[in-house]
Structure 1
Amino acid sequence: MADSDSIRAEPDLPPVGESNAGPRRSLRARLGGAVVVLVLAVLFFLPWWTLFGSGTDWPLPVFLVGTVVLAAMLVAFPFLMAAGHGRRRADRAARIADSTLGVIWVLFTWSALGGLVHLVLIGLDAGGADRARVIAVAVAVVSAGLLAWGHHEAMRVPRVKRLDVHVPRLGAGLDGTRVVVLADTHYGPIDRADWSARVTEAVNELDADVVIHAGDIADGTPTQRHAQSAPLGTIRSRLAKVYVTGNHEYFGEAQGWLDRMAELGWEPLHNAHVMVERGGDSLVLAGVDDVTAESSGLTGHGTNLVGALAGTDPDRPVLLVAHQPKFVRQAAAAGIDLQVSGHTHGGQIWPFNFLVRVDQPVVHGLSHHGERTQLYTSRGAGFWGPPFRVFAPSEITLLTLRSGGEDDAS
């Protein structure tokens, strides 16, 4: 056995399994940073190549100005994103960074399509010496047009989408119940208090029995977005106004948003339910925290469907509000009648909808899952980040609940 002096002389050793934890984290951070740099380089390089570098043969001043502008955007972008969406939450920086992201995504998409056209023309030996310049001009014009239209689509009051949803277990007394769905308002760096007030007016014109806000209410804290969220307090309903958290609440102050919505007269469904009754029949209106809640580390938050349904009669129909469509797997396993979700924005800027589909079972609309469960996925009312919507229109949804029969959209 070693004596006490020899024991004291031995160096302190890290716990088993932790000796390489620091280097592993550092390696992951470096790899993650490298991936981000690579993605940004590709996003900016392809538009530069299509517009200025692929044989367009522009006059030198045009080439230099275009190159400098895109290079400046690339260099500034990560710093603006960090300032706008990091701890500082500087709204001006966020507006510039978000707009840059939208512009470069549209330019990248149509540059890629333009590149394919260029290859086809080369293969056909068509277009002549000016084909690269013609394609560059076409890409610029189409992108500018889509960005202008997409900004208008993002900033306007959403159109109303009407849909009859037949719920076989729904009692006759609740047949015709009008449920208005708001989702993804994303009050954020662009002050949209007036837009919020006009959305509220549009909702109130629908004469709802139930109004649902399906999460992602804002990017920022309740204090930051106080004026933009205030109009939600004037929304009217006959039976209930309910709200669940989305993933973006967990980037800020999720509990603060639950408290803010309660202050505005909404019922926060924080893994909870309320009963909706009419004509002698009842409907369970339940809601769960977003699926990211548990990983947020916020005490008392985490998706809990069992808790949300605790004490309910299993023979009663259930309308579940869950921010992300992918929660429908748990909903179907539990025999939920109808789940209402948002989150996807319908892709927001085409063709991002294809990437969304990798993560979510549905991008928008009504779908069926399992023997009983239906899912309605809203495209959302607002937008995240880039103030553009391209081929993904915003919506306020009016679901009219029917007992039995076929679904009918309009």
Structure 2
Amino acid sequence: MILLVLSTLFFLPWWTLFASGVDWPFPVFVTGTVVFACWLVSFPFLMARGHGRRHSDRAARIADSTLGMIWVLFTWSALGGLVHLLLIGLGTGGPDRARIIAAAVVVVSTGLLAWGHHEAMRVPRVKRLDVSLPRLGGGLDGTRVVVLADTHFGPIDRVDWSTRVAETVNALDADIVIHAGDIADGTPAQRREQSAPLGTIRARLAKVYVTGNHEYFGEAQGWLDRMAELGWEPLHNRHVVVERSGDALVLAGVDDVTAGSSGLPGHRANLQGALTGTDPDRPVLLVAHQPKYVRHAADADIDLQVSGHTHGGQIWPFNFLVRIDQPVVHGLSLHGARTQLYTSRGAGFWGPPFRVFAPSEISLLTLRSGDGPATAPRTADTTADGTPT
């Protein structure tokens, strides 16, 4: 199945660029075919070397970039093929039709990859959002919650990026800062320098963290310990209570839904354990890495769940595939009578260093006490100082 998928991903762009009636000179055809063949054959070996036991960051960088490039080429080759068929049906385009389509695929793909790499590597914009929680006491009205998710420190050294992200978060003057999981691809020892700036992040009331699925590809317990070392409160199926002006908010967190199959003792998503000892009259903000955990949150009448995981799809049109597995790709949504879910697109990227039509974000949620859930909240994308983008 893997070989079939890989062959399809590489075959369609090769066909569009070199064999679909483009009639290039023979040396061009041979060169293109050899390049694609070598690309296809080397890819699985680079993936195994980069993400297998050897953990070669150099191999991972090449393999991940290849995956992003071939996905974009595949997508726009497919769209180019549809345009080609439409032009044939309309009887337009002439003998150079195939070459024009091939050139357009190359130009569009190159442009999107260049732009997508810039989007992936830049410091995320700040997405500002008002969220109304009916049970929130007036003393906590206006509480500023910063959501950071999916930093994915990995094979590309992003120490400077991590430092600037921390500076951006601190400029938001948060009461609560949440890291919703997927800190890194690798172990705490491998990504120690990249994760170090997280220790500089400040919050008035609490800094909390839950594991994501990628922590369970490395050392989940090690990341819980590392975040505690950096001054964060790991919500490992537990909760903390924050108070201001006589009103309280429960901050609860659960392990990622994949934790139960990790084999690590004591690791599994356990909402009942996270809520043990809480006052049922107090509002609850639950941190769970994957949006699909919201069905459990809704059953428990949680007020607000905060998640990441989806990356907003990261590279269009992958968002449609994400939607098959998750109830929401990004933004605020209502589930059941009370439970709201906020899904962040995340700050970093997994694997391919590209973001196409799925911008990264750091989210600033301003909690408001009110009479009902905010199904159409006020939102804005800004820089850290509040300048609209």
Same fold per superposition (TM over 0.5)? yes
Matches of 1:181 and 1:59, distance apart in 2 = 54
Matched, 1:223 2:189: yes
The one-letter code matched in structure 1 to 2:150 is D
Q: Which has the higher contact order (CA 8 A, sep 6+)?
A: 2
Report 1:240-259 matches (<5 A). Answer: 240-259=206-225
Matched, 1:366 2:332: yes
| Corresponding residue to 1:96 among 62, 70, 80 | 62
Report 1:227-238 matches (<5 A). Answer: 227-238=193-204
Q: Report how many aligned residue pairs link the two structures.
A: 376
Report 1:157-172 matches (<5 A). Answer: 157-172=123-138
Deviation at 1:63, TM superposition (A): 1.3
Deviation at 1:59, TM superposition (A): 1.4
Matches of 1:348 and 1:246, distance apart in 2 = 17
- Aligned twin of 1:299: 265
Unpaired runs of at least 5, structure 2: 381-389
Instruction: Please give the secondary structure, in 2, of the residue aligned with 1:211.
Output: strand
- Aligned twin of 2:92: 126
Matched, 1:61 2:31: no
Matches of 1:157 and 1:239, distance apart in 2 = 25
| Corresponding residue to 1:107 among 32, 53, 73 | 73
- Aligned twin of 1:347: 313
- When normalised by structure 1's length, the TM-score is 0.91
Instruction: Please give the secondary structure, in 2, of the residue aligned with 1:129.
Output: coil
Matched, 1:139 2:76: no
Instruction: Please give the secondary structure, in 2, of the residue aligned with 1:300.
Output: coil
Matched, 1:408 2:373: no
Matches of 2:178 and 2:233, distance apart in 1 = 10
Matched, 1:290 2:260: no
Deviation at 1:61, TM superposition (A): 2.0
Deviation at 1:302, TM superposition (A): 0.3
The one-letter code matched in structure 1 to 2:21 is G
Matches of 1:292 and 1:275, distance apart in 2 = 26
Query: Which runs of structure 1 show a deviation greater than 3 angstroms over 4 or more consecutive aligned residues?
Result: none
- CA RMSD in angstroms comes to 0.5
- Aligned twin of 2:146: 180
Deviations 1:15-50, CA, capped at 9 Å, x for gaps: xxxxxxxxxxxxxxxxxxxx0000000000000000
Matches of 1:297 and 1:354, distance apart in 2 = 31
The one-letter code matched in structure 1 to 2:109 is S
Matched, 1:280 2:253: no
- Aligned twin of 2:235: 269
- Aligned twin of 2:343: 377
Matched, 1:83 2:49: yes
Matches of 1:64 and 1:143, distance apart in 2 = 22
Matches of 2:114 and 2:30, distance apart in 1 = 25
Matched, 1:328 2:298: no
- Aligned twin of 2:115: 149
Deviations 1:195-235, CA, capped at 9 Å, x for gaps: 00000000000000000000000000000000000000000
- Aligned twin of 2:13: 47
Deviation at 1:67, TM superposition (A): 1.1
Unpaired runs of at least 5, structure 1: 1-34
Matched, 1:314 2:280: yes
The one-letter code matched in structure 2 to 1:183 is A
Instruction: Please give the secondary structure, in 2, of the residue aligned with 1:128.
Output: coil
Matches of 1:73 and 1:184, distance apart in 2 = 29
- Aligned twin of 2:387: none
Matches of 1:233 and 1:85, distance apart in 2 = 27
The one-letter code matched in structure 2 to 1:397 is S
Matches of 1:253 and 1:341, distance apart in 2 = 21
Matches of 1:65 and 1:385, distance apart in 2 = 28
Matches of 1:332 and 1:408, distance apart in 2 = 23
Deviations 1:148-193, CA, capped at 9 Å, x for gaps: 0000000000000000000000000000000000000000000000
- Aligned twin of 1:71: 37
Matches of 1:357 and 1:371, distance apart in 2 = 22
Whichever of the two has the greater Rg, that structure is 1
- When normalised by structure 2's length, the TM-score is 0.96
Matches of 1:140 and 1:64, distance apart in 2 = 18
